Amino acid sequence: MRILVTGGAGFIGALAVWRLLDLGYDVCVVDNLSSGHRSALDRASRLAGRPVEFHLCDVRQTSQLISIMQSFRPEAVMHFAGLKSVAESVACPELYYENNVQGSLSLVQAMLQCQIDRLIFSSSATVYGANGVPPFGEDAELGPVNPYGRSKWMVELLMRDICSAHPEFSGIILRYFNPVGAHPSGLLGEWVQGSPNNLVPYVMGVLQGRFDRVRVFGSDYPTSDGSGVRDYIHVLDLVEGHVAALNLPKGLSVFNLGTGRGYSVHEVIQAMQSVSGRIIPFDVVDRRPGDVAVSIADPCRAHQAMAWKAERGLIEMCQDVWNFAQCSPKGYELE
């Protein structure tokens, strides 16, 4: 089976590329390298012992996508390409609607033109917003509170309409909770340059001496220790969810990819301390605007429909992140 992977040079995409190659799929990557790294693909290919085709291409370039699809003839597309910073999306929403919404529309147009009818899309738990009561089931009311989240919601709506109009189409929406982790070899993981917004990359930056202390946002949430609770999922479990989605029947499917279990900020800091054997200094500061107290998935639907279940726990996620930092201290820079 041939799979086209957009955004395959990024954090999650490169791990998906490795896993697909490892399973024997032929893989073609389309990426504009705005945040991804060509060397991540080289590492994925080396780890799997198989080549990967790469095209430096922006998903907004429909005609270029069509010619790539006509020559590679993929049976499915995994669509990871997109921008993902909430803060940047608030400052520059047009960039997010252009990259994430227009980019996805361009991809769908190319797929329809080339009669490729399976699309697996990276959505986010952020579409649930602050309305619902966790754990969130897929039918919970949606209400994203920032342009990034709304761009994901718009693509979900686009996919819904495409599946209604084209009964041969399989549109699979995967709502990720909080992806963390790395390949156990230490060769593939998340490499954030500058100051990361997300908790685990920031904690890693403190361990590497790039930042002095972690700021714990909030002490008065209605949680066991007053800090925010999230459903952290190992990126390799997430990738297995994509592989399972290749066998779903036609039509629209929506799945949460989470573990169903939440951890507080203090529990994450403690887990990182225990795997690194180092003290992680932190300050408790005000809540971060836009944060919800608790975000946890109800993952039952994915279990029932795809026989998929997250297997790895928080310690394994932290171990793999720590190992990636040790093995790849300069991320994807050429050593």
> At its nearest, how many Å lie between ligand UD1 and the CB of residue 308?
20
User: Among 173, 152, 315, which residue's Cα sits nearest to residue 234?
Assistant: 315
Out of 5, 20, 78, 81, which residue is the one contacting ligand NAD (CB under 6 A)?
A: 81
Burial class from Cβ neighbours inside 10 Å (0-12, 13-18, 19+) for residue 140 reads middle
Residue 8, token pair as written in the block: 């395959």
Report the 10 Å Cβ neighbour count for 331: 15
Out of 12, 116, 216, 321, which residue is the one contacting ligand NAD (CB under 6 A)?
A: 12
Taking CB under 6 A as the rule, does residue 34 contact ligand NAD?
yes
**Binds 10, which of ligand NAD, ligand UD1, none (CB < 5 to 8 A, cut-off by type)?**
ligand NAD
Report the 10 Å Cβ neighbour count for 320: 24
Instruction: Give the three-state DSSP class for 326.
Output: helix
Binding footprint of ligand UD1, residue count (CB under 6 A): 22
Asked whether 266 and 311 are in contact (CB, 8 A), the reply is no
Our answer to whether residue 263 is catalytic in this structure is no
Residue 196, token pair as written in the block: 């990361």
Candidates 46-54, 237-245, 285-293, 305-313: pick the segment binding ligand UD1 (CB under 6 A).
285-293
Taking CB under 6 A as the rule, does residue 10 contact ligand NAD?
yes
Candidates 8-16, 245-253, 275-283, 316-324: pick the segment binding ligand NAD (CB under 6 A).
8-16
267 vs 35, 46, 48, 71, 227, CA distance in Å?
Answer: 29, 35, 34, 49, 9
* Residue 33 per-residue DSSP state: -
- Rounded Cα gap, residues 33 and 230, in angstroms: 29
User: Among 189, 160, 171, 177, which residue's Cα sits nearest to residue 77?
Assistant: 171
> At its nearest, how many Å lie between ligand NAD and the CB of residue 177?
8
Contacting ligand NAD within 284-313 (CB under 6 A): none
Candidates 5-13, 39-47, 197-205, 239-247: pick the segment binding ligand UD1 (CB under 6 A).
197-205
Of 8 and 144, nearer to ligand UD1 (C-beta) is: 144
**Distance, C-alpha 258 to centroid of its chain:** 11
Asked whether 276 and 214 are in contact (CB, 8 A), the reply is no
**No. of helices (H) and no. of strands (E), the chain:** 12, 14
**Distance, C-alpha 306 to centroid of its chain:** 19
Taking CB under 6 A as the rule, does residue 97 contact ligand UD1?
no
Contacting ligand NAD within 119-178 (CB under 6 A): 122, 124, 176
**Binds 32, which of ligand NAD, ligand UD1, none (CB < 5 to 8 A, cut-off by type)?**
ligand NAD
Out of 27, 36, 116, 240, which residue is the one contacting ligand NAD (CB under 6 A)?
A: 36
**Binds 31, which of ligand UD1, ligand NAD, none (CB < 5 to 8 A, cut-off by type)?**
ligand NAD
31 vs 6, 45, 69, 309, 334, CA distance in Å?
Answer: 6, 16, 14, 29, 19
Catalytic position from the list 148, 176, 232, 263:
148
Of 35 and 276, nearer to ligand NAD (C-beta) is: 35
Instruction: Give the three-state DSSP class for 232.
Output: strand
**Binds 58, which of ligand UD1, ligand NAD, none (CB < 5 to 8 A, cut-off by type)?**
ligand NAD
Taking CB under 6 A as the rule, does residue 257 contact ligand UD1?
no
Under the rule (CB under 6 A), what is the footprint of ligand NAD? 6-7, 9-13, 31-36, 58-60, 80-84, 99, 103, 122, 124, 176, 179
Binding site for ligand UD1 (CB under 6 A): 84, 86, 124, 126, 148-149, 178, 197-199, 202, 214-217, 228, 230, 265, 288, 290-291, 295
